[in-house]
Structure formats: C-alpha cells, structure tokens
Structure 1
Amino acid sequence: MKRKFSLSVKFNLVFLFIFAIALSAAGVVADRLLQKQALDETVHDANVLISAAASMQSYTATHVTPLLATQIKYQFVPESIPAFSAIEMLNLLQKDFPNFSYKSTMLNPTNPRDRPTDWETDVITHLHDHPDLKQMSGQRISSGNPTLFLARPSRITDVACMQCHSTPSAAPATMIDKYGSANGFGWTMNDVIGAEFVSVPMTQPIERGRAVWRTFMLSLTAVFAVVLIVMNVMVNMLITRPIQALSRAADEMSLGKLAETPLPTGGSDEIASLAVSFGRMRTSLVEAFKILDEEPHES
C-alpha cells in the first residue's frame, strides 16, 4: 500500500533536503575560505619575521660592522656579522614565541651551527637551481603539528664579504683562530650559498578557523531552523487550514448537505478564489436540485 504524506510533511521534507544541500555547500565553501585565511595569516607572520631578520642584518652591516672593522685584527667579534646578529636577536624573540624559529643556513658555513638539515639542503639546492626564485614556501609536520616554512636565498653581494669567505689565506687570522680554515670558504659572488628559513606554526590559525567555522555552521543551522518554523506556521495558516476547510465542505456537499455547508470566505489569493468557485458550484447544485424536485409536480 502506497504511503500518503500530508502537504505539511512533503513541504518539510523538501525544505530539509534543500537545507541539507545548502548547508553542505556553505560548509565546504566556508571551510576552504577559512583554511586559505589561516594560510595567508601564517604567511604574513612568516614574512614579518623574516623581514625583521633582514632589517637586523641591514642595521648591523650599516652601523655595527664598520665600528668593529679594526677590532677584527685583534679579536674576532661574531656580533659584527649581520647574519649572526639576526640569529641572536630572533633567538631572544623565540623565548616568548617558542614555536617560531629562524635560521640562516649555508651549505658551507663558517659556524657549524649554521649547517642546514637534509630538507633545508634540498630547499637551498632548489633555490640555487632556480636563481630567479625570490622566495620559497611550503608546509611540514614539526613535532606533530603543521608548520609553514619560508625560505629566501642568501647571496654574497658585497665584495667586502669575500675577504672572509674567498680563501683561508685572505681571511683574518682571528677568524681562522676561532673557526678554523676548513669551512666557510670558496663562496662565489652573487651565487646562492644558503638560505634564511623562518618556520611559523599553523596550529593556532587553523584552530581559530575551525572555531569560526563551527560558529558559522551553528548560526546558519539556527537561521534555517527559525525559517523552517516560520514557514510551517505560514503554510499552516495560509494554505493547510483553508484547504482543510474546503475539503470538509466538499465532503459535506458530497453527502447532500449543500445549504448548511459553510465555506471559508475572505482573502484574495488562489485559495480564496477556489472557495468562491466552490460557492458558485454549490449554488448551481442547489438550483439544479430545486429544478429536479419541481419537475414531478409539473407532470
């Protein structure tokens, strides 16, 4: 036996079907937009950090290194090296933001601490093989959490730097005494010799995006629920009740109760027009029955 559904049930089923599709589509679009926002926010933080390092290097090269130019003859001062100053400054920043990191790595560094890891070496090699590439970014899993890294190639653009990195014989004796003559030499002007790496955690932006997504989806669901309730009330008042009244009137008329059957009146919509049509039909039926009742007496 075919199951029958009321108009209200059919309306709610259609509304819920449309709601499910709309909510799913909105959820997918919102999730993608929020993920992109989280990525853009992380990239912005990484750019700020690496720009701060570049500013520190520029300041050191302009204001600190010239002041210590004669000092290097008697004692090598690492703070006169722009990359060293940037690393030390950002190491202090890292105490307040432990998940952020900055490294200035070289394939053949003077200081062993600046030697790159395997994945950093791959990035430097890629930057070396693509000299027009100004920056490279990607995502990694660090300590179980997603992390975005930003890498900018390092080049020797100042001829004065070649004094310390061309050959051991040309380097200051104080630097040789501190770091030895095995590493940090043979660098080439304008060639990619390393890269600056900034790593920024993506956990917090992703969690913020998820929280916004949940709030958005709950709000959208609440709006749909309110709309569904309002629509049900309107359908019941404007459609279901008048149709039920017409249905009862039709049933009464089918049983022969024509004169005493009330019909809903008022309004100017389609249902009111249908009620008027029912009224005309009832009047016609009453007149027809009167004619039929009068015919035997005339014969």
Structure 2
Amino acid sequence: MKIETKINILFAIVFTIGIIVSGIVSSKLLQENAQQQVTAKAQILIQVMNSVRNYTNKRINPLLESRLQIEPAFIAETVPAFSAIQVFEDLRNNPTYKDFFYKEATLNPTNLRDKADSFEAELVNKFRKNKNTKEISGYRQFPEGENFFIAYPLAVTQQSCLQCHSTPEAAPKSQIASYGSFNGFSWKLNEIIAAQVIYIPASQILSSAQRSAYVLIGALIIIFAIILFLINLLLRRTIIQRIKKMAKVAEKVSTGEINSDFEKQSNDEIGALAAAFNRMKKSLEIALKILEQQTY
C-alpha cells in the first residue's frame, strides 16, 4: 500500500471518529441551546400573562365588581386567569407561537377547564413543598407526542381574590349561578393554588437542533475535504514526487549510471537524505575507481 493511501486511510478514520463524536456533542449542545431559547420565550410569555392578570385584577375587576351581584351570568372578564388564557389564545394566531399551549393548572378551580391533571397536580405540590422552587421544566409524554414544559407557581397574593374563592356565601351570586358552590373555594392568602404551565412540542426543539447540527456537520465535511485536498497536494509535491525521483536515480546508479545525481531541492529531511545519497554515491565511485586500479 502506498504512503499516500495509508495517510488518506488514517485521515478518513480520524475524520469519521471526529464527525461521530462532534455530531453527538454538537447535537446535545444545540438541543440545550434550542431549549434555552424556547425557555426564554416562555419566560417572557409568563411575564406578559402576569401583566395581563395584574391589569385585570387592578383595572377591570373594580369596574365590573358591582355588576357581579346583579348579573344573571358571571362576567368571566373579571377573572385574571380568564383574561390571561384569552390573550394567550389570541397570541397563538401568530405562527411563532401557534404550537405553544398555556394552562393555569389549578388543584381546586372554579372553572373545571382549569383543573390540574395528575402530572400538573404533582407540579403544584412540588411548589408547595419547596417554596424556594420558582421554576420546573422538563419533558412530558402526550398521546400526540412529547412536549417540553416549563412551569411556575401561582399563589393567592391579594385579598380581593378571596371574595370569589373563600366560601360560597361570600362569592358573588352570578358566580354561584354559573359555576355552582362546590368548586373553587377554601383558598387561602399566599397559598400556592396553581401552576402556570406552558407546553411546547419537543419536535420544535429537536428539529431546530437537528437543522443546526446538519449545518455544522456539513461544514465540518467541507472543511475536512479541503484540508485533505491540501494535505494530499502538499504530500505529493514535498514528499512523494521527490521520493519517486530519488528512487529513479537510485535505480540508475544501481545499473551503473554513476553520473546521475540525487537532486537536493531544500534543506529539509528529504534534502538531507538526498545529500547523504550523493555522498554515498561519491564514496561508491571512489571505491569503484580503487577497485579498477587494483584490478589493472
């Protein structure tokens, strides 16, 4: 096997191992980066939802509070959770957020639409057990596929919230008429009653990471091809071709063409080898002349 072939095989093995390792590492890092970007979006959305909740609680609720006792049906617009959910649903019309899903998963909600399932109830309990936990994120499997989620605790922070959620007797009549007197009561001030959860399909994160990984691996392949071409070019011009010339000269000398010289093109290792061959050739010439003189 030729030296050039051996070197190319060695580079191919090193490159293959490098591509596999870099592919695994880059895929992991790019996935984490994509997850961080999605998390950053979710954090901003949570802040926006909390702003909507605060606006509803401070500005909308006082305007409509007096009507809750006389209206036949409960005015849902007075509820911060309702406003936040409606705003988020409107936001989902934007293609950037169409796959995002927002839920205020509550252990004991007035509207059963907001009822926490077993997974979400566990999140709420984790927030309750450790009050220092401000965020929980991870992956959750749904029948339609895996989702990435990020959750934040939601507590009763204002006394006005207890007007509708302390006891059925204190609740507005329209609330009892619309939702009954069994759900959404016995809340306490500063108690964590729900988890704000945003779900994002994991495929969105994985596809983004995979696209970036493919681009990175493609760039590595192109760079390797260029490096391999340059190394082969350098190898041929500085080593292979010069060794071939020396081999031809050596073959001529071995057949008696003493006048052939080993060409010294540079002062590198091959140049030093050529100089050594030339000295050896001169020594051989001297030895042959001495032998001829002794013969005659």
TM-score normalised by the chain length of structure 2: 0.91
Does the CA contact (< 8 Å) of 1:141 and 1:147 recur in 2?
A: yes
State the match for 1:184 in structure 2: 184
Measured on the aligned residues, the alpha-carbon RMSD in Å equals: 1.8
Cα deviation for residue 143 of structure 1 reads 4.9
Q: SS where residue 195 of structure 2 aligns? A: strand
How many Å separate the matches in 1 of 2:236 and 2:61?
Answer: 83
Q: 1:205 to 1:106 in 2, by over 3 A?
A: closer
How many Å separate the matches in 2 of 1:42 and 1:271?
Answer: 58
Q: 1:38 to 1:148 in 2, by over 3 A?
A: same
State the match for 2:216 in structure 1: 216
Q: SS where residue 197 of structure 2 aligns? A: strand
Does the CA contact (< 8 Å) of 2:261 and 2:278 recur in 1?
A: no
Does the CA contact (< 8 Å) of 1:163 and 1:170 recur in 2?
A: yes
Q: 1:158 to 1:283 in 2, by over 3 A?
A: same
Does the CA contact (< 8 Å) of 1:42 and 1:201 recur in 2?
A: no
How many Å separate the matches in 1 of 2:98 and 2:224?
Answer: 43
Cα deviation for residue 188 of structure 1 reads 1.7
Q: SS where residue 51 of structure 1 aligns? A: helix
State the match for 2:285 in structure 1: 286
More moved, 126-135 vs 229-238: 126-135
Cα deviation for residue 55 of structure 1 reads 0.9
Paired residue type of 1:47: Q
Cα deviation for residue 64 of structure 1 reads 0.8
Any stretches of 5+ residues in structure 2 without a counterpart? none
How many Å separate the matches in 1 of 2:138 and 2:271?
Answer: 66
State the match for 1:272 in structure 2: 271
Paired residue type of 1:101: F
How many Å separate the matches in 2 of 1:168 and 1:159?
Answer: 16
Cα deviation for residue 56 of structure 1 reads 0.4
Paired residue type of 2:30: L
State the match for 2:257 in structure 1: 257
Q: SS where residue 193 of structure 1 aligns? A: strand
Paired residue type of 1:126: K
Cα deviation for residue 52 of structure 1 reads 1.6
How many Å separate the matches in 2 of 1:95 and 1:143?
Answer: 24
Q: 1:198 to 1:171 in 2, by over 3 A?
A: same
Any stretches of 5+ residues in structure 1 without a counterpart? none
Q: SS where residue 92 of structure 2 aligns? A: helix
Does the CA contact (< 8 Å) of 2:165 and 2:185 recur in 1?
A: yes
Instruction: Give the counterpart of 1:84 among 67, 82, 85.
Output: 82
State the match for 1:13 in structure 2: 9
State the match for 2:115 in structure 1: 115
How many Å separate the matches in 1 of 2:113 and 2:203?
Answer: 28
How many Å separate the matches in 1 of 2:60 and 2:76?
Answer: 11
Cα deviation for residue 266 of structure 1 reads 2.6
Paired residue type of 1:224: F
CA deviation map 1:81-131 (0-9, x unaligned):
111111122122234444221112321111222212222222222222222
TM-score normalised by the chain length of structure 1: 0.90
State the match for 1:195 in structure 2: 195
More moved, 56-65 vs 85-94: 85-94
Paired residue type of 1:90: F
State the match for 2:55 in structure 1: 59
More moved, 91-100 vs 43-52: 91-100
Does the CA contact (< 8 Å) of 1:38 and 1:202 recur in 2?
A: no
Cα deviation for residue 296 of structure 1 reads 4.1
Paired residue type of 2:77: E
How many Å separate the matches in 1 of 2:113 and 2:15?
Answer: 58
Does the CA contact (< 8 Å) of 1:39 and 1:202 recur in 2?
A: no
1:205 aligns with 2:205: yes
Does the CA contact (< 8 Å) of 2:52 and 2:80 recur in 1?
A: yes
Q: SS where residue 103 of structure 2 aligns? A: strand
Paired residue type of 1:275: A
Does the CA contact (< 8 Å) of 1:46 and 1:149 recur in 2?
A: no
Q: SS where residue 17 of structure 2 aligns? A: helix
Does the CA contact (< 8 Å) of 2:106 and 2:115 recur in 1?
A: yes
Q: SS where residue 275 of structure 1 aligns? A: helix
Cα deviation for residue 37 of structure 1 reads 1.1
